Structure 1
Amino acid sequence: MIDTLSPTARAAGARRHRCVLVVEANPAVRREIRNLFLARGFFVNSATRTADAVSLTDQDHYDVVVCDVQPPGIDATELTRALRGAREAPMIVVITTAPLSPVMEEAFRDGRLLILRRPVGPAILLAAVERVLAAFEAEARSP
């Protein structure tokens, strides 16, 4: 399932480096994470399955993908592999208690994967994404 965007999200989407894709199977958790970012002016889209997330990233640019490793229908290793091959690969923020696959470990070493260990509160998740975006902006400004 792919969620549709609210008018607020569409209006917020005009800013660069504020685009987040949430990949989460649980509707209540997905809604909570979406609302967290929407309330701070992010452009947010979401998917419930790996295939939907990959399809969305093929269609649009996302600066950050927030993914829960454990829900059914979501294969964080496959998602990481697919996103690392994208022309504008987003940063991936993984929320997990599980060990990382070799693909995810390599993405972590490359600096394209941030790991947040459960439990993760809204303030920690928001701060992690803000830090990633600030690093992208600083990198884009450097000669």
Structure 2
Amino acid sequence: MPAHILIIEDNRANLELMSYLLGAFGYDPHTAGDGATGVEIARERPFDLIVCDIHMPGVDGYEVARRLKADPVLRAVPLVAVTALAMVGDRDRVLAAGFDGYIAKPIDPETFVVRVEEYLRHEHRTAAAHARAAPAAANKPTNGLTILVVDNLSVNRDLACSILEPHGYRVLTADGVDQGLAVARGHACDLILSDVCMTGESGYDFIRAVKADGRLAAIPFVFITSTMLEENDRVTGLCLGAARFLCRPIEPDALLAELEACLRAAGRLALGDDSDR
């Protein structure tokens, strides 16, 4: 039976990343977007581990720890902080507050699950996570396709990599329009996955530049956004030449299916090839 892990985090991108990584390796993640809700959920059912952000509005991580450790039932549940530890003395304060340990931000998809396992009882650790702990970079599957991910948030780029790479894609990343264009012009890309709202120029500016470049115009272009959710936003993106306009949050399998459909439509993925999915 998989370990039940509660994640308390107010940043949706970080919440999605941690939840996806734990679920991908056989764990049963439950989520809460704020401290008060997290404490309520923790009291509703048993958990094998609780992972909690420190800096949250309202009930912050320290208050969550105080409430959980004051509960005679919940105090025995391992409690792990996720924090940037930006200030001198933060580490000591985290441990003094009742946390059993901490995982540093930004979240590293390659090591996060292994770090979480350090606080789980041995019988609750999954075989899949054990296998991931061994170096396996050289054995990653490949389907020969390259996807360029453009997003100004590193956590979104990391999440995309953690979804795409295990299914055989080579992933290139860029943090903005200028870097995205440079990468696209310097490497053969089979698809571009881009955020809409980015620092400086937007994803709309990016697709205009891509479609205006004869070398890049034929590359399937997909938007993904958590902020541009109105119908007119979708219509704008599609009218500029995007093959898809996706909204976060999106399940990993749904994202993979959308990208595979675009690749097939462009003749870059053979019919019946599901990219090892």
Q: 1:52 to 1:11 in 2, by over 3 A?
A: farther
8 Å contact kept, 2:204–2:240: no
* Partner residue in 2 for 1:63: 190
* Partner residue in 1 for 2:233: 100
* C-alpha distance in structure 2 between counterparts of 1:37 and 1:74, whole Å: 26
- Post-superposition offset of 1:101: 8.6
8 Å contact kept, 2:263–2:269: no
TM-score by length of 2: 0.41
* Partner residue in 1 for 2:96: none
Offset from partner CA, 1:32-71 (integer Å, 9 cap, x none):
1012111111111001111100111111121111111123
Q: 1:41 to 1:26 in 2, by over 3 A?
A: same
State yes or no: 1:26 paired with 2:153.
Answer: yes
Q: Which of 71, 77, 99 lines up with 2:204 in the alignment?
A: 77
8 Å contact kept, 2:146–2:188: yes
Stretches of structure 1 lacking an aligned partner (at least 5 in a row): 1-6
Aligned residues: 129
Stretches of structure 2 lacking an aligned partner (at least 5 in a row): 1-136, 272-277
Report % sequence identity: 23
* Larger relative contact order (CA 8 Å, sep ≥ 6): 1
TM-score by length of 1: 0.74
Q: CA RMSD in A?
A: 3.1
* Partner residue in 1 for 2:180: 53
* Partner residue in 1 for 2:58: none
* C-alpha distance in structure 1 between counterparts of 2:263 and 2:235, whole Å: 25
Give secondary structure in 1 for the equivalent of 2:167: coil
Superposed structure 1 runs of 4+ greater than 4 Å apart: 138-141
Offset from partner CA, 1:49-94 (integer Å, 9 cap, x none):
1110011111112111111112324511111011112324211110
State yes or no: 1:121 paired with 2:254.
Answer: no
* Partner residue in 1 for 2:45: none
* C-alpha distance in structure 2 between counterparts of 1:31 and 1:61, whole Å: 21
Higher Rg of the two aligned structures: 2
Give secondary structure in 2 for the equivalent of 1:100: helix
